[in-house]
Amino acid sequence: MKNNEMQGKFLYYLKNPSVITGINPEEDNSVEIFRHPIPYSEALATFSKDKGLYMLTHKVSDFTLIMKALAEKIENDLGKQ
């Protein structure tokens, strides 16, 4: 499957989450699909672990920005409870 096909499928699931979850989001909003899929990255896949965490040397990569967005989401979601 090519990346644009995967992106297309992801967008379909994002718009129609019940296809995966089996749950109507209007009835139960406790399951959601995070809107930023993690793109395949050759740099991440081949990153040398001797350098520590990937984000320390790739500060503005897609992956790093998605991780920051996820951390913020977790704080917001758990803060709402």
Of 78, 66, 80, 58, which Cα lies nearest the Cα of 34? 66
Binding residues for other proteins (CB under 8 A) = 1-3, 6-7, 9-10, 13, 19-23, 30-34, 37-40, 44-45, 49-55, 64, 67-68, 70-71, 73-75, 77-78, 81
CB of 19 to other proteins, least distance (A): 8
Q: What is the DSSP letter of 79?
A: H
CB of 15 to other proteins, least distance (A): 13
58 in Cβ contact with 43 (< 8 Å): yes
